[in-house]
Structure 1
Amino acid sequence: MAIPISPNNTTTKGDFLHALSLSKVVYKDITLIPGETLYFFLRHLAKVFHLKVEDLEQVYNAKALWADGAIVPDTYRFTLGISAQNLMGYLLKHSQEHYQKLSEQLLGNYDPKKWQQTLIIASIIQKEAANAAEMPLIAGVIYNRLKRHMPLQMDGALNYGAYAHSKVTHERIATDNSPYNTYKHKGLPKEPVGSVGLDAIKAALFPAKTPFLYFVKTKGGTHKFSVNYKEHVRAIPKF
């Protein structure tokens, strides 16, 4: 920004201080936490940076490889006044480069379609696990059920989009006909159900090898894992 000059080519102290105050760039931080959905993150972005959700959605839909989960969870810093195009463009470019590098580090190559499946599984793990230690166990259950052509029947998959923070009820399971309802549809959803952290990604790629097919949440918030349905049913009343 240009600083105003007086007619005699000198800058007054008042003009200088005024120009300096106007030239200060204001930065704002924004954090995407693992498990959060694009629906809520876009609304947070719009509020913090005074943008329109529709503009952010338009850029995301035009550039993102997946309907959700394409942005890496992290804390980002942008200037106030940034455009939706530049903000979302940076997030997607940074995330795509990050995921490609991560895939090459962990797998030795990068295949967008295979990585999408990794993110889908990781996003369900992210929603279901009580902690990082449980993630490989839950990943093992997912793969065991897929191998046996069993429906996943996981509540976390129903915490997609606007339902990210909603309790999954019996009524919701019965009435939700989306591809995210793994009680009604076998296999994986076609898209990630939210953002995913590194621990969930590693669990999806390197699941624990166990015979477990079921798990139930305990009073302490962790999960009890079971090999068969009879054992699972016996565990439910305890928790």
Structure 2
Amino acid sequence: MSSDDKQKVKQEIKKKLLRERQEEASIVRKIVMVCLLLLIIAFTVAGTSAYYYVKGGLEPIDETSEELINVHIPIGSTSTRIGTILEEHGLIKNASFFRYYIRYKNETGFQAGDYQLSKSMHMDEMIAALKEGTVYQEYAFSFTIPEGRWLESILNVISEKTNHTIEDLTEKVQDKDYLQSLINRYSILTDDILDERIRWPLEGYLFPSRYDFVEENPSIEAIIEAMLQRTEQVVGKYFEDLEESEYNIHEIMTLASIIEGEAQKTEDRYIISGVLYNRLNINMALQVDPTVAYAHGEHFSRTLYEHLEIDSPYNTYRYAGIPIGPINNPGEASIKAALQPQEHKYLYFYARSDGEVMYSETFQQHQQILSQYRN
């Protein structure tokens, strides 16, 4: 091969290599462009999704709603608690979003009190209303009943705040004629409360909340009926659930009181409710400690085997099914949980003193939990 031919071959090889490099570079550029385009699309989709998520969280639940919803914000409520209350009342979509949003905006100064809010309100409008607070009248006296208190404890609070004696209060809440008149006026009350074995006929129906009175000395009837009216308002929000339930209002309030006595956290109320329903469905005794304490009429730091021997219709270790009546006065969260039990397969639970609840499906698993944590 001549030198000229060799030179031509070299040039052809160089041209071929150059073309290959140009093609590779073109492919790389295309890949880079495609990757950049995909990233832009991903960021656009994420940004759009985030925008609509935030927009949806801030917008009203129902712009056309004209209903005013009564909301009570207890003294000392955290932003988490306020968000949960608003979500439970159907005023916002997500309590966690509410918490993060007010943290982002550095909103503080929320006021305790009773509010009338609407599903047509934007979240910023609710925040403004909750910061402004309610305009209270000058009340002669007020009292607050926490969730889960026994009726005799409520009577003691009323007696301390008024000039009504315990004797007068006790006589009134046990008066058969008065109770019958209440049954005739309040849909939440049925003839079940007149069972002679029930310790306090109105146990479970005096709603835990803050009560304010303009009169210096309102009658016992006015106080009791204000509490019954509050219970009726709360239960009324879950009318459809109650209509679909296999249990009547008295049984639901009894289950709610058991849930109130066992659960400290909102999520546990629904799981425990599911446990109670699972047991009832197979005719298994509920076996819950708060009913034993109520049967004895005293609170125990720990339920012992000797406590389980009491022969009482409230003792769920001795008698299967739902007890004859509520064992305390439950709050809205427990009432809702009693009507909306979580579906699962748990049959046992152990509530620790720190509020943690351990669940199990079998008796063997339950015994292992008891041996581990009780010791």
Q: How does 1:61-80 map to 2 (within 5 A)?
A: 61=174, 62-63=178-179, 65=189, 66=193, 67=201, 68-78=203-213, 79-80=215-216
Q: How many residues align?
A: 211
Distance 2:244 2:141 in 1: 33
Q: 1:96 to 1:215 in 2, by over 3 A?
A: closer
1:201 corresponds to 2:335: yes
What is the alpha-carbon distance in structure 2 between the residues aligned to residue 147 and residue 97 of structure 1? 28
**C-alpha contact (below 8 Å) 2:235/2:335 kept by paired residues:** no
1:138-161: CA deviations, max 9, x gaps? 011101111111111100222438
1:184 aligns with 2:318: yes
Correspondence for 1:29: 142
Relative to structure 1, the CA distance from residue 151 to residue 108 in structure 2 (aligned partners, 3 Å threshold; closer, same or farther) is: closer
CA shift at 1:227, angstroms?
Answer: 0.4
Give the distance between the partners of 2:291 and 2:218, measured in 1 at CA.
33
User: What whole-Å deviation, never above 9, does each CA across 1:8-38 have from its counterpart, x for those lacking one?
Assistant: xxxxxxxxxxxxxxxxx86221111111111
Give the alignment's TM-score, normalised by structure 2.
Answer: 0.52
Q: In angstroms, what is the RMSD of aligned CA positions?
A: 2.5
* Unmatched runs of 5 consecutive residues or more in structure 1: 1-24
TM-score, scaled to structure 1: 0.79
* Contact in 1 for aligned 2:143/2:158 (Cα 8 Å): yes
Q: How does 1:118-133 map to 2 (within 5 A)?
A: 118-133=252-267
Structure showing greater Rg: 2
| Distance apart, 1:132 and its partner CA | 1.0
- C-alpha distance in 2 between matches for 1:221 and 1:194: 19
212, 215, 220: which one pairs with 1:84?
220
| Distance in 2 of aligned mates of 1:161 and 1:82 | 32
Return the alpha-carbon distance in structure 1 between the equivalents of residues 264 and 222 of structure 2. 36
Q: Give the CA deviation at 1:128.
A: 0.7
1:97-112 superposed matches below 5 A:
97-99=232-234, 101-104=236-239, 106-107=240-241
Paired letter, 1:171? E
Higher relative contact order (CA 8 A, sep 6+): 1
Structure 2, gaps ≥5 residues long: 1-137, 183-188, 194-200
Residue 45 of structure 1: how far off its partner (Å): 0.6
Percent identity among equivalent residues?
Answer: 27
Whole-Å Cα distance in 2 between the matches of residues 203 and 155 of structure 1? 19
Tell me, in whole angstroms, the C-alpha distance in 1 between the residues paired with 2:237 and 2:210: 18
Query: What SS class does the counterpart of residue 327 from structure 2 fall into?
Result: coil
